Chains A and B, each alone.
Chain A
Amino acid sequence: MVGRKDKEILTLIAEDKEYGFKMLVEKYQVQVINLAYSLSRDSSLAEDIAQEVFLKIFKKIDSFQRKSSLSTWIYRITLNMSYQFLRKRKFSLFSPKKYSFSPEDTQEKKEIINIGLSRLPLKYRIVIILKDLQGLSYKEIARILNCSMGTVESRLFRARILLKKILTPLIKEGL
């Protein structure tokens, strides 16, 4: 994360809401859109979700009680908003192309990983996305999902076992 510290942003928002809010968007827009994108795999939809996330933040920032950190709060709103958008689409969480070949190069492997991720149950997919794509620590993930670090650890463990099982028949020569 780059830019100003969260505390400074919150102070700016208290002094000049629009200016402070612009600073907040500037700092978090990349994380928000990529979290939405990793769940939807649709860049246009991810941008719409990101806009709604920041609208929600603007409306609710005055009542933000600082029970959690600002980043945790933003991640939670993004997860909820993504979920709401995707639910409207009847859980059509990114529909990957069908592959009937054995992938040889890295780009193909990445596509296969997409398929693997799409087949993981949501609770496992989310921990993988937060850990491996967003690069968050167990502690941060636990705060976002409101669970213990032990739960994060065990979900990640199971997620990777499942992912390997899903990928094995798709990637013949192995990872």
Chain B
Amino acid sequence: MNCKKIKKLIQLYIDQEIDSEKTQVLKEHLKTCASCQREVNTLVSLKKLISSQEKITTSQDFIAKVIEKIRKQEILKMNLEGAAKRLIPLPLALGLVTFIYLGSLQIRKENFLEEYLLSALDEREVSLFIDREIYEELF
């Protein structure tokens, strides 16, 4: 096997994604190839440095803060729903719903345009985040 193919095996090896058969092929090659041995050392060092990057923890009251935010949002939602029921007569409510719906259509159109422009700028990067499955699950 030539060095070009061996480099792919080196990656599998350092990522612990290699099977025993390929490990054997790699070991045999490394016995006689100084260049690939250097490649192993470089990639191992690189991986070690990346994986030892600083890690952080959440603040001590992180869960409490999240729960508090959830409660605030739920209270706000309930208040808005209650106020809407008490204060808005049916014809006005229907008018309001129509107005909001038409407004949302416009926003969707703008969002779509923004996404399109972004994807036109760098389609490959942005497409990572806007695949259909993710959006189906999220929105």
Residues of A that sit less than 8 Å from B by CB: 18, 21-22, 25-26, 29-30, 33-34, 37-38, 43, 46-47, 50-51, 54-56, 58, 60, 64-65, 67-68, 73, 76-77, 79-80, 83, 87, 106, 109-110, 113-114, 117, 121-123, 126, 128, 131-133, 135, 137-138, 145-146, 153, 156-157, 160, 163-164, 167, 174-175
Contacts and interface: CB of A to CB of B under 8 A. Distances in A.
Contact of B66 (A25, A65, A137): A25
B134 A80 contact: yes
Nearest to A129: B50
B54 to A, nearest CB: 8
B50 A146 contact: no
Given A123-B128, A157-B8, A175-B42, A67 B58 contact: no
Nearest to B65: A51
Interface stretch (B29-37, B67-75, B85-93): B67-75
A131 B12 CA distance: 12
A146 B133 CA distance: 8
Interface of B: 7-8, 11-12, 15, 17, 42-43, 45-47, 49-59, 62-63, 65-67, 69-70, 73, 118, 124-125, 128-129, 131, 133-134, 137-138
B53 A133 contact: yes
A76 B134 contact: yes
B10 to A, nearest CB: 10
24 contacts: A25-B63, A29-B63, A30-B55, A30-B57, A30-B58, A34-B55, A43-B56, A55-B73, A58-B66, A77-B138, A87-B118, A113-B46, A117-B50, A123-B125, A126-B128, A128-B50, A146-B131, A146-B133, A153-B11, A156-B15, A160-B11, A160-B43, A164-B42, A175-B42
A51 B66 contact: yes
B56 A37 contact: yes
A47 B58 contact: yes
